[in-house]
Structure 1
Amino acid sequence: MRPGGGAQALTTSRTAAAGEPEEEQASLFAAPAVPVPEPAPSDPGRDTAARASGLRTTAGFAVVDELPVASVRLVGVLPHLDRPFEYAVTPDTAAAAAGMRVRVRFSGRDTEGIVLGRHEHASTDRALAPLHRLVSEDVVVPPPMMRVVEEVAARCAGTVGDVLRLALPPRHARAEKSDRAAAEKDAAQEVDPPETAPRDSAADEPAPDTPDTDEADEADGAAEADEAADTEGAAGTAAVPTEAPPEPRPGDRYPGLGALLSRAGSATGPVPRATITLDSADPWTTVTADALADLGPEQGALVIAPDRRDVDRLSRILTERGIGHEILAGTEGPEKRYRTFRRILRGATRIVLGNRSAAFAPVQGLALVICWDEGDDLLEEPRAPYPHVRTVLQCRSHEERCALLFLSASDSVPLRALTDAGYLARLDPVPAPVRTVRPHIVAMDQYLRDREGASGRSRLPQEAMRVIRRGLERGPVLVQVPRSGYVPAIACTFCGTRAQCPHCAAQLSIAGRSGHLHCRVCGRREDGYRCPECDRTQVRAMVIGSTRTAEELHRAFPDSPLRVAGGAHDTLADTEVPSDAIVVATPGAEPVPPERFAAALLLDADAMLGRAAFDADVEAIRRWRNAIALVRTAEDGGEVLIVGTATLPAIRDLVAHRSGAFFDRVLADRQDLDLPPFSRVAEIVGDKDACRLFLESTELPDGTDVFGPVDLEGPDAAGRARAVVRLDPRRSRELADALRGGVSARSARKARGSLRVRLDPPDVF
């Protein structure tokens, strides 16, 4: 349920208690909160327009003659009231048009709304309240964008008002005023361009020593003839210069990319949609910049990346090439964000970069949408109705007919499913020698371990030290570890049970080299720990963090600069990596040196694969391949060592080049187990009674599998339960409509307790 629903439920309790029908309740909600005085007798024509049109309105205001009824979609109302409402247009709000922001009185409060359209007659016979105020004449939600918002709400079983909250940044009056002044200044310069430097009248007169007779013309003609003769003679003896062939671009290795860009923005024919798994030698920033440069001057583009640092890297490349663009990110302040939003809205720039919050950016003439690393969990919206960026971009591609391109360093299960279904085209590169497109990748297999003896079984075998030593001779070296901290997880030495805090059940960890067991949640120090299963006191480290790894590497390489990135450590800028440094980073926090890393070491591969998630192997491959993409090719001396069980399918997939065997097996296993994407799954989490009553009162489609509800575990899970429902994906819209109807019915009944409904949650299993 949308946060804040309880406060709105209190404002409508009077109407519900009266037992009035829902239509009569809506009539009261749309009426003014306080009575408006009747018009004075001296103003008999005040309501003439309303009476002439037969429009019933509340007393005390005038309406316009033309299209006096406005259909408004309200933002932030309860789920069962998430539908358009009609209001009367007053002379003060006569400029209201589709897509503009307005303020209306609803349920006794001043509420924001978006105008859907203007009509001549009302669709109801109840009295209409007036549009309270026209916030701005900016069309912030054009009709195509409103259709996108409605489609996203329908797919995610949410409300249109909640999606509008995600799509629209809060209005900032000062930013709007300054940007409107800048727009007027730009328009004035286009109409009346600034004059060039004034010409000197004396310069137009002939110089005193210059003859102004025909002799000067004859002299000039003779000089031109001599010059032409010299030029012709030189052309006859010298070779004609030829243009150098253009340098090959990384995107040229993917033949289908050119065809997609040529069809981008086409008003006829099928909309091109594709996915590309890039080789390590092809930076996504370069491929994206080349694609944006190929667009026409009137074509717009939107690029979505998970992290702000990814956006900044692409922005630097576009700035170097002189390609104008805007960055719309959620990390900016309200004023700067709204100023950027208005610049995009009025078409001051047609190329927009951003992260998850920029998925709804109102790009003018949108022809191409590019999404980098779709599998990153940063692209999952944590606010209701929890849409994934992939869903938003699919809806925009359908409604605005813009080309859709997914770029990634690793395959994705959802994208593979869309490719197999024919929705996306897979663009593979032309064959090339492996040494030229990726680094030399080696897994610590049984042969290498047996060759080293006892050292081969350690966390940092001698082969890893040799890889680091060889890499430092050519450039920086990357060491990737799964977790930050010192020893973030420990377990019993005998039975392997995780060590948990007896007070809050959180994991116990060790903060330093000589530190004690402590809880990072409640701060409890546990000196006398005993395993609850076997009653033993000895513990061992399950995962070694980045701090402990950096400490060990510093002892082994004391003369090399050491940098730590991720977790409690600050992010490391790309330009702050010394040429002979060792960088210890967690997944996603790796910097990108200008010349790339000379080598990379992927530690604790088994620990990353052992996460308690059904997609742990797929996520591990994505993180590893993103790190491998930062290493030089084998032709330039780049190498990667994976320390883990070499026989595991996920590790073998890294060593193999462009093999689809692993993902084919994953898709086959998920189909046999009815796991996503071969089933549509929804999660219902909330109070026990609320979860149980919701399942009993909601009419789910036939054939829906219901699992639970079961009690949640944890210190903050008392009295809460969780249920999972599953249905065939071909009937996903039926499931979404049923859940949406159940939430609306629960809101109308003002049922007690909190409840949250999510479709396709990433951590459902």
Structure 2
Amino acid sequence: MRTTAGFALAPERPVASVRLIGVLPHLDRPFEYAVTAETSAAEAGMRVRVRFSGKDTEGIVLERRDAPTTDRALAPLVRLVSEDVVVPSALMRVCEDVADRCAGTVGDVLRLALPPRHARAEKRDREMAAAERDAAAARASAAEAEAAASADAEIDTDTDTDTDTDTDTEDAPAADAAPTPPRPGDRYPGLAALLTRAGGAEGPVPRASLTLDAGDPWTAVTAGALEDLGPDRGALVIAPDQRDVARLSRVLTERGVDHEVLAGTEGPEKRYRTFRRVLRGATRVVLGNRSAAFAPVRDLALVICYDASDDLLTEPRAPYPHVRTVLQARSTEERCALLFLASSESVPLRALETAGYLRRLEPLPAPVTAVRPRITAMDQYLRDREGASGRSRMPREALRVIREGLTRGPVLVQVPRSGYVPAIACTFCGTRCHCPECSAPLSLTGRSGPLHCRVCGRREDGYRCPECHRTEVRAMVVGSTRTAEELSRAFPSARLQVAGGAHGPLEDADVDPAGIVVATPGAEPAPVGGFAAGLLLDADAMLARAAYDADVEAVRRWRNAIALVRTAEHGGEVLVVGTSTLPAIRDLVAHRSSVFLDRVLADRAELDLPPASRLAEIVGDRDACRRFLENVELPDGTDRFGPVDLDGPGQAGTARAVVRITPSRSRELTTALRSGVAGRSARKERGSLRVRLDPPDVF
């Protein structure tokens, strides 16, 4: 074994295989280093510092060996960063699998999985762990002493010798125990079967999806599942938004379930301290958002993901994995049960159900009024009954729903966009108004304000349509601020609260019990007891979003809002203002119908869109994108579209290409793309380039 000079080798297993973090794609492989006497404590999964390409680089030890596999001189491990095993072997395999699925590098995935080390947090957590061990030892000693004292104590054997007992007296019958109230999760029999098999060492791994009825809060179902899970089994719960995590944390605290919240919004010190507590098994239930998908939970038996279709669960950093991909890899490598919860059905999850990967859990039959609010769409009958106002943005029926709802509690009004009038168009020809300086959409910021660009700040006082040269404009979408202004005139005695956009979030506890909340999708608060009524405005505008999945995404956002409204038994009512004949709106009115999603899947299969195909997007400098497509060896049968030059704001000189292949050959595509990126890195080609698998905004 050859080494560089100046250090002494460890007496045993002097060779370490190290996976480096943050290196170039063509260097994404293990490297061998010599273990010095000072770093002899290094074991698999520990962080180390090595010298690579003239600078200190962080890496993870994969294994220790007795002899190297190369004849080159080995450089030493510079430093053992920590003796904590931060990446167990199963988690390392998960990182490798995610990198393979996303055509990325393992080093980039490790950077996503590991929070930055914080020395002070590590020191304090070690002190806390020692104090916990001392306290546990003291409690054990006290228990032993108490047991010994009880054994040595004399037992009073005196008994009552009076034999004259009252034979007519009988023991009072034990009072009947109070019946346990039913839990929302009890309505789904398959959930109990999944929990029973969770963490089992034998047999197939249970994986399922569960579409909740509107009357079943996801927090209550999740909390019940965690309560039923054995105390020696670990669980991980992922939710899209930090507010969702906080809501579940409150429910678990009320039920006395010990847990930790691992969130990216916490400071570095607090987050690393929580990470170490999870790592050493101080808690077995971990909650978090996208950044917690790699949490090293001990004895992981169950993983729950809520609302997997939310775009917040897509990682914006390379290699851009979706949380669903990470959790699938963990379920495979760690044999943990996998459960997807949502208020609406998802196209990717339905595809996994069709492929047999997931089992769909159905609820027990129940009256519709007990599991969801009364949902009505502004159909032709309601519009004709009102006359001209029936075709307005806010018909009299909508005002009736709000007025009657205010007598029972708060009312939710959902609008697609924030702001005042975020999108305007020419009144004559309908051309959307764009800024002549940067081509961004123009908007109105007040009732009588001028046209304003939100990107460059340009004020457009004398706007003329570039198509017809007219000056009159109209609102395409009305924002939450303008909607609140209109409602304040219609209901002057009700308190108006706006959530989302520039107004920021509205806390659940701050909702006025007799007020109106105007919110954008995803910003709706969840008051205790739910909303008395809900109004979904501008449904047609939500469906007109420029995306191929606009209808499915609109249904998801609507159903999440409907889940915040009380059931019909408790007076809950929802009105959808839009074209009632559209399939997406009809799907809201129907109860547990699969017609809409079946039609979407059939259309996508006919058009060869995901999930009927696997897509990859290549975006970068024009020359870099074209050279990459010329050099990469794509599998036979791969469809290629582009490259096409992009001309949007800030996209000058940028091109984009899309490649498509059947899902059964997706691994061939990812392997080819990884090789192409690595070859480009090895040749040191100029220009930036980004490769993403199944991006949500590909079409």
C-alpha distance in 2, partners of 1:359/1:687? 32
* Map of 1:209 onto structure 2: none
* Map of 1:34 onto structure 2: none
* Map of 2:254 onto structure 1: 320
C-alpha distance in 1, partners of 2:420/2:10? 70
Q: What is the DSSP-based 3-state SS (H/G/I as helix, E as strand, rest coil) of the residue aligned with 1:132?
A: strand
C-alpha distance in 1, partners of 2:526/2:202? 41
Describe the superposition over 1:310-368 as per-residue Cα deviations: whole angstroms up to 9, x where unpaired.
00111011111111000000000000000000000000000000000000000001000
C-alpha distance in 2, partners of 1:134/1:496? 65
Per-residue deviation, 1:196: 6.0
RMSD (Å), alpha carbons: 2.0
Per-residue deviation, 1:714: 1.5
* Map of 2:496 onto structure 1: 562
Instruction: Pick the aligned partner of 1:725 from 647, 652, 659.
Output: 659
Q: What is the DSSP-based 3-state SS (H/G/I as helix, E as strand, rest coil) of the residue aligned with 1:190?
A: helix
* Map of 2:134 onto structure 1: 188
C-alpha distance in 1, partners of 2:179/2:169? 25
Counterpart residue type for residue 78 of structure 2: H
1:656/1:229 Cα in 2 relative to 1: closer, same or farther (>3 Å)?
A: farther
* 8 Å CA contact 2:425, 2:432 repeated in 1: yes
Residue 108 in structure 1 maps to residue 42 in structure 2 = no
Counterpart residue type for residue 221 of structure 1: T
Instruction: Pick the aligned partner of 1:448 from 364, 369, 382.
Output: 382
* Map of 2:485 onto structure 1: 551
Q: What is the DSSP-based 3-state SS (H/G/I as helix, E as strand, rest coil) of the residue aligned with 1:134?
A: strand
* Map of 1:71 onto structure 2: 17
Counterpart residue type for residue 327 of structure 2: L
* 8 Å CA contact 2:210, 2:341 repeated in 1: yes
Instruction: Pick the aligned partner of 2:553 from 596, 619, 624.
Output: 619
Instruction: Pick the aligned partner of 1:221 from 145, 159, 169.
Output: 159
C-alpha distance in 2, partners of 1:593/1:123? 62
Instruction: Pick the aligned partner of 1:396 from 309, 312, 330.
Output: 330
Per-residue deviation, 1:189: 2.3
C-alpha distance in 1, partners of 2:477/2:609? 29
Which residues of 2 match residues 395-414 of structure 1 at below 5 A?
Answer: 395-414=329-348
* Map of 1:745 onto structure 2: 679
Instruction: Pick the aligned partner of 1:462 from 378, 396, 400.
Output: 396
C-alpha distance in 2, partners of 1:464/1:229? 76
Per-residue deviation, 1:628: 0.3
Residue 163 in structure 1 maps to residue 109 in structure 2 = yes
Which residues of 2 match residues 417-428 of structure 1 at below 5 A?
Answer: 417-428=351-362
Instruction: Pick the aligned partner of 1:659 from 569, 589, 593.
Output: 593
Describe the superposition over 1:220-254 as per-residue Cα deviations: whole angstroms up to 9, x where unpaired.
633x969x957x86534x33323233221111111
Instruction: Pick the aligned partner of 1:117 from 63, 66, 71.
Output: 63
Instruction: Pick the aligned partner of 2:638 from 682, 701, 704.
Output: 704
Counterpart residue type for residue 353 of structure 1: L
* Map of 2:170 onto structure 1: 235
C-alpha distance in 2, partners of 1:340/1:464? 47
C-alpha distance in 2, partners of 1:490/1:497? 9
* Map of 2:94 onto structure 1: 148
C-alpha distance in 2, partners of 1:302/1:225? 62
Q: What is the DSSP-based 3-state SS (H/G/I as helix, E as strand, rest coil) of the residue aligned with 2:38?
A: helix
Q: What is the DSSP-based 3-state SS (H/G/I as helix, E as strand, rest coil) of the residue aligned with 1:390?
A: helix
* Map of 1:520 onto structure 2: 454
Deviating 4+ runs (over 4 angstroms):
194-197
Counterpart residue type for residue 311 of structure 2: D
* Map of 1:29 onto structure 2: none
User: How many aligned residue pairs are there?
Assistant: 694
Which residues of 2 match residues 557-636 of structure 1 at below 5 A?
Answer: 557-636=491-570
* Map of 1:306 onto structure 2: 240
Describe the superposition over 1:584-626 as per-residue Cα deviations: whole angstroms up to 9, x where unpaired.
0000010111010000000000000000000000000000000
C-alpha distance in 2, partners of 1:737/1:453? 61
Residue 387 in structure 1 maps to residue 325 in structure 2 = no
* Map of 1:439 onto structure 2: 373
C-alpha distance in 2, partners of 1:714/1:660? 38
Counterpart residue type for residue 130 of structure 2: E
* Map of 1:88 onto structure 2: 34
* Map of 1:291 onto structure 2: 225
* 8 Å CA contact 2:98, 2:326 repeated in 1: yes
C-alpha distance in 2, partners of 1:555/1:400? 58
Instruction: Pick the aligned partner of 2:305 from 356, 368, 371.
Output: 371
1:225/1:536 Cα in 2 relative to 1: closer, same or farther (>3 Å)?
A: farther
Counterpart residue type for residue 140 of structure 1: V
Q: What TM-score, normalized to structure 1?
A: 0.89
Q: What is the DSSP-based 3-state SS (H/G/I as helix, E as strand, rest coil) of the residue aligned with 1:138?
A: strand
Counterpart residue type for residue 235 of structure 1: E
C-alpha distance in 2, partners of 1:691/1:177? 47
1:594/1:690 Cα in 2 relative to 1: closer, same or farther (>3 Å)?
A: same
Unpaired stretches in structure 2, ≥5 consecutive residues: none
* Map of 1:208 onto structure 2: none
Instruction: Pick the aligned partner of 2:7 from 61, 78, 92.
Output: 61
* Map of 2:419 onto structure 1: 485
Counterpart residue type for residue 58 of structure 1: T
Counterpart residue type for residue 660 of structure 1: S
C-alpha distance in 1, partners of 2:504/2:494? 20
Per-residue deviation, 1:194: 7.8
Describe the superposition over 1:599-656 as per-residue Cα deviations: whole angstroms up to 9, x where unpaired.
0000000000000000000000000000000011111110000000000000000000
Describe the superposition over 1:525-576 as per-residue Cα deviations: whole angstroms up to 9, x where unpaired.
1111111111111110000000000000000000011111000002111111
C-alpha distance in 2, partners of 1:390/1:268? 24
Counterpart residue type for residue 410 of structure 1: S
Per-residue deviation, 1:62: 1.2
Counterpart residue type for residue 473 of structure 1: T
Q: What is the DSSP-based 3-state SS (H/G/I as helix, E as strand, rest coil) of the residue aligned with 1:93?
A: coil
Per-residue deviation, 1:712: 0.4
* Map of 1:429 onto structure 2: 363
Per-residue deviation, 1:184: 1.2
C-alpha distance in 2, partners of 1:478/1:338? 38
Per-residue deviation, 1:730: 0.5
Counterpart residue type for residue 72 of structure 1: V
* Map of 2:184 onto structure 1: 250
Counterpart residue type for residue 527 of structure 1: D
Q: What TM-score, normalized to structure 2?
A: 0.97
Instruction: Pick the aligned partner of 1:530 from 464, 468, 487.
Output: 464
Describe the superposition over 1:241-290 as per-residue Cα deviations: whole angstroms up to 9, x where unpaired.
23233221111111100000000000000000000000011000000000
C-alpha distance in 2, partners of 1:229/1:257? 54
* Map of 1:331 onto structure 2: 265
1:172/1:474 Cα in 2 relative to 1: closer, same or farther (>3 Å)?
A: same
Instruction: Pick the aligned partner of 1:360 from 294, 302, 324.
Output: 294
* Map of 1:127 onto structure 2: 73
Residue 97 in structure 1 maps to residue 43 in structure 2 = yes
C-alpha distance in 2, partners of 1:471/1:551? 19
Unpaired stretches in structure 1, ≥5 consecutive residues: 1-54, 205-211
Describe the superposition over 1:93-128 as per-residue Cα deviations: whole angstroms up to 9, x where unpaired.
111100000000000000000000011111000000
C-alpha distance in 2, partners of 1:680/1:162? 22
